[in-house]
């Protein structure tokens, strides 16, 4: 069965410092990976997906199939980046459906 591991429950960095949130996955097929973010008092929302190779709010994430990782990085953290971050793996379920398997999340705090 698939699994997503986020080893850090809590992560604190100072404003302007680089930040890396770790995500490792186990899945026998071709992975589709996402990062979701939940800001305080807001709903869970998509941050970025690996297929798009995009940079959102300064964050990037590269899929490393050899290391089965999808770490989220930002070179200069901002206080508004403080939030709960979830890594998620999309796998096929029944028919054309897919389902997400989430990691346990990392609470990022950016200190002034």
Partner 1 sequence: NAGVTQTPKFRVLKTGQSMTLLCAQDMNHEYMYWYRQDPGMGLRLIHYSVGEGTTAKGEVPDGYNVSRLKKQNFLLGLESAAPSQTSVYFCASSVIQGNNQPQHFGDGTRLSIL
Helix (H) or strand (E) run with residue 20 in it: strand 19-21
Q: Is 86 in the site for partner 1 (CB under 8 A)?
A: yes
Q: Is 25 in the site for partner 1 (CB under 8 A)?
A: no
Interface with partner 1 (CB under 8 A), residue from 12, 26, 45, 64: 45
| SS3 letters across 40-98 | CCCCCEEEEEHHHCCCECCEEECCECCCCECCEEECCCCHHHCEEEEEEEEEECCCCCE
Shortest CB 76 distance to partner 1, Å? 26
Q: Is 9 in the site for partner 1 (CB under 8 A)?
A: yes
Q: Is 32 in the site for partner 1 (CB under 8 A)?
A: yes
Interface positions with partner 1 (CB under 8 A): 4, 6, 9, 32, 34, 43-46, 49, 51-52, 86, 90, 93-105
């Amino acid at each position: 069965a698939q699994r997503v591991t986020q080893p850090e429950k809590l992560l604190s960095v100072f404003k302007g410092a680089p930040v890396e949130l770790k995500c490792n996955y186990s899945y026998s097929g071709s992975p589709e990976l996402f990062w979701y973010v939940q800001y305080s008092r807001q709903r869970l929302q998509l941050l970025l997906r690996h297929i798009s190779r995009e940079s959102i709010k300064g964050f990037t994430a590269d899929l490393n199939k050899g290391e089965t990782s999808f770490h989220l990085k930002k070179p200069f953290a901002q206080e508004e980046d403080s939030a709960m971050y979830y890594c998620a793996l999309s796998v096929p379920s029944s028919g054309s459906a897919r389902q997400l398997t989430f990691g346990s999340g990392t609470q990022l705090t950016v200190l002034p």
